[in-house]
């Protein structure tokens, strides 16, 4: 009598179960990495928009408060991003050792410090946000030049 060679049904089922578990783990890892890649791309786009809007604020010669909003709808394939820009005179506190209020508001001061803020929003219900802030020194009366 010859012995039958090959795998039993139980061995095949165990091997397939292990294969399914391994494939499930691999698919979850790939799905997570693709989600992170998409999110990274969105953050990169938001940074580019914020830097562009900050550069626009830097050339602004207005001496007052400036606020503007907009959207990227229709801009060269970029959709779903909204932005808010604001330029306002920097208000320092009296206890600020870097730029005290008595120096900033002195009547003989020839320059004024401005705070520039850019916020970019995207995602469902604007769930994601990127903010960029900077300071700029402008000559007083620069708007009249």
Residue-level pLDDT at 24: 94
Residue-level pLDDT at 80: 86
Q: What is the pLDDT of residues 70-106, one digit of tens each?
A: 988 766 677 889 999 999 888 776 666 666 666 666 7
Write down the pTM of the prediction.
Answer: 0.68
Residue-level pLDDT at 19: 96
SS3 string, the chain, reads CCCCCCCCHHHHHHHHHHHHHHHHHHHHHHHHHHHHHHHHHHHHHHHHHHHHHHHHHHCCCCCCCEEEEEECCCECCECCEEEEEEEEECCCCCCCCCCCHHHHCCCCCCEEEEEEEEEEEECHHHCEEEEEEEEEEEECCHHHC
Query: 50 falls in which pLDDT band (50, 70, 90)?
Result: very high
Residue-level pLDDT at 35: 87
**pLDDT higher at 41 or 100:** 41
Residue-level pLDDT at 144: 40
């Amino acid at each position: 009598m010859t012995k039958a060679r090959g795998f039993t049904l139980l061995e095949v089922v165990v091997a397939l179960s292990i294969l399914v578990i391994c494939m499930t783990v691999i698919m979850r890892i790939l799905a997570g990495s693709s989600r992170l890649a998409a999110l990274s791309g969105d953050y990169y786009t938001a940074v580019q928009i914020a830097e562009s809007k900050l550069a626009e604020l830097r050339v602004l010669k207005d001496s007052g408060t400036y606020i503007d909003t907009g959207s990227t709808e229709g801009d060269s394939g970029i959709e779903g991003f909204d932005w808010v820009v604001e330029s306002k005179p920097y208000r320092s506190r009296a206890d600020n050792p870097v730029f005290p209020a008595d120096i900033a508001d002195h009547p003989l001061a020839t320059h004024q410090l401005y705070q520039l803020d850019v916020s970019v929003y995207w995602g469902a219900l604007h769930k994601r946000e990127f903010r960029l802030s900077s300071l700029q020194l402008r000559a007083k009366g620069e708007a009249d030049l």
